[in-house]
Amino acid sequence: MPPFFYALCRYDLGLTMNRTQAWWVLAFSAFLFASAAAAGPALPQLHSSHGAVQLYVDGRPYLILGGELDNSSASSAGFMQPVWPKLAAMHLNTVLTPVYWELIEPQEGKFDFRSVDVLITNARKHNVRLVLLWFGSWKNSMSSYVPAWVKRDPQRFPRAQTSDGKGLEILSALSESNLRTDIRAFTALMKHLRDIDGTKHTVIMIQPENEVGMIPEARDHSAAANAAFAAPVPAQLTDYLTQHKDSLAPSVREAWQGHGFKTGASWEETFGDGIATDELFNAWSEGLYTGKVAAAGKAVYPLPMYVNAALIRPGKQPGQYPSGGPLPHLFDIWRAAAPAVDMLSPDLYFPNFAEWASRYVRPDNPYFIPETGRVNAAEMSANAYWAFAKLNAIGFSPYSPEYLSADEQKVLAESYDVLRQMTPLILAAQGSEKIAAIRPPVAFDGTQDLTAQTLTFGNYLFDVHFKLPPPVSTGAREEVPMPGAHGAMIIQTGADEFVVAGTGMIVMFRTSGIADSIAGIESVWEGHYVKGAWVPDRCLNGDENNQGRQLNVPAGKFSIFRVRLYHYH
């Protein structure tokens, strides 16, 4: 018995006990301490703080500066070997990577997790976290990642069918045997993660299935699906719709209202006859299946889970796009069908990024962008700044960063480096009025609207311009668009102090609500953050801020500025 402990119990804590009792207390305390240490920090979880839902990892808020590996990269440890350092050099802190059912369960019931383990080992080595994408029953509608023994046995693992009875390479969501078999593999994966990663939390989130939805028709027409379609709409769905009647997506509400808010009737009697009802049915069937997979996985190891959606090109009908995926007009169906899924997330590949992104903003939908691309790295980065500031996004993830050109990787590295430095400020400001985003709207055809924008921070107005005055020497009159991408976040750090991070704009300042007053620039410093502490680099004045008239956020690079303003009458 350490004398100090015995003395502590007897005197300092005022306890009277003999040495044997004190041994028991010591042993019990040691047990408690050891169990707490073994349990480690809290599991990754979504947590609502100061008006924003954020992802907490090891008990602290965490911002995913992600990248999603190309589909086949993670199937080869050799292929990935030179990729890992590149990902780390781009300042990714999180890698989204598929894990493949066909590799995990090559023989029925015999699990081989080597392809998962090597990802976790390398992620730890390169100091990044992982989000695992379960390429299980469905990947982009199809069932190409199911093991061979599933592919080869359509009797046991039935496929969806077209309306003229043709089989599709898509597992039917109406088959219990498909569901049970997927769940068995997915829960084996989750159990394995719990066993090998339950205290380290290298894996922080899971995506069950991938871009679910039916193609080329709006729903499965197999016999089982037709029977379910003719049966009453499940009460689980109509109860949800009844409870959320006032906030339903307009198309769902109108269809249901048009049929007298019916319950206990078939799909067509409840919502009408046509392709839109076929889509609702498919959303329900595949949402229910995916939700059951997610719930079974969470019962074993409760990591946050999200599903991703393939979005709709203009003019396309259900079946021409993956019908029934987690799309904005189907949110209610997915929420009712899959309560274990925490987030419905858009894969944002269209130029009108902000327009589509905004359609996923709902009070019950924490915000995550799992995939984005098909624009250059600067535009993509400008979208990231906007999403973190405007949507309180928990993460952002360009698709296949390993295939970006060296120059594009450099751009992403620079912009992510700035975001990495800004992370503590972003996390503290999300959900409040202290953070704002700037990004010119872009249409589907790629046209940008470079009209100036005005932001308000208390008594200050910020006029943001994306065009430069015409060069005097040319005699031209038209303003000239600044080159490159335009995007930034502004975070208010004091009554008169702001941090601006981004690219490609000019900001001028005014006051609002204070009659006849003028806002002036006290100082502008370009700088950087080291472990959250500001390091000023250059004091910008003279030509660099147009003799005190404006803040220049240069095009072609991502930078951080600390701006102090003042106002006077």
Nearest distance from residue 119's CB to ligand DGJ, in Å?
A: 16
Contacts of 548 (CB under 8 A, 6+ apart): 520, 521, 541
CB of 71 to ligand DGJ, least distance (A): 5
C-alpha–C-alpha distance, residues 388 and 384, integer Å: 6
Q: Answer yes or no: are the C-beta atoms of 351 and 375 closer than 8 Å.
A: yes
Q: At its nearest, how many Å lie between ligand DGJ and the CB of residue 373?
A: 7
Q: Which is nearer to ligand DGJ, 207 or 430 (CB)?
A: 207
Between 282 and 453, name the residue whose CB sits nearer to ligand DGJ. 282
Minimum distance of ligand DGJ from residue 514's CB (angstroms): 50
Instruction: Tell me the one-letter amino acid at 252.
Output: V
Asked if 287 and 334 count as a contact pair (C-beta separation under 8 A), the reply is: yes
Closest contact distance (angstroms) between CB of 210 and ligand DGJ is 5
Shortest Å distance, C-beta 232 to ligand DGJ: 34
Q: Are 459 and 511 in contact (CB under 8 A)?
A: yes
Q: Which is nearer to ligand DGJ, 140 or 263 (CB)?
A: 140
C-beta neighbour count of 23 within 10 angstroms: 14
CB atoms within 10 A of CB 428: 17
Q: Structure tokens of 523? A: 């100082």
**Chain-centre distance for alpha carbon 120:** 20
Alpha-carbon distance of 120 to 200, in angstroms, equals 10
In the complex with ligand DGJ, which residue's Cβ is closer, 207 or 552? 207
| CB of residue 370 to ligand DGJ, shortest distance in Å | 8
Whole-angstrom distance, CA of residue 277 vs CA of residue 523: 60
Nearer to ligand DGJ, 399 or 466 (CB): 399
Residue number with CB closer to ligand DGJ (267 or 367): 367
Environment class of residue 13 by beta-carbon count within 10 Å: exposed (0-12), middle (13-18) or buried (19+)?
exposed
Instruction: Select 71 or 492, whichever has its Cβ closest to ligand DGJ.
Output: 71
Minimum distance of ligand DGJ from residue 400's CB (angstroms):
7
**DSSP annotation of 162:** -
The answer to whether the beta carbons of residues 95 and 131 sit under 8 Å apart is yes
Residue 243 CB partners (closer than 8 Å, separation 6+):
none
Q: Which is nearer to ligand DGJ, 398 or 504 (CB)?
A: 398
Q: With respect to ligand DGJ, which residue has the nearer C-beta, 370 or 487?
A: 370
Distance between CA atoms of 370 and 9, rounded to whole angstroms? 54
List interacting residues with ligand DGJ (CB under 6 A).
71, 140, 210-211, 308, 347, 371, 399
Residue nearest ligand DGJ, CB atom distance: 211
Q: 210 vs 392, which CB is nearer to ligand DGJ?
A: 210
| Element at 66 (helix H, strand E) | strand 64-68
- Helix count (H) and strand count (E) of the chain? 17, 25
| Cα–Cα distance list, 40 to 71, 93, 408, 483 (Å) | 33, 21, 39, 49
* Cβ closest to ligand DGJ, residue 52 vs residue 311: 311
51: left (phi > 0), else alpha (psi -120 to 50), else beta? left
CB of 133 to ligand DGJ, least distance (A): 8
CB of 363 to ligand DGJ, least distance (A): 26
Give the whole-angstrom CA distance, residue 308 versus residue 359. Answer: 14
Least distance (Å) between residue 553 CB and ligand DGJ = 31
Structural contact between residues 520 and 565, judged by C-beta atoms closer than 8 angstroms = yes
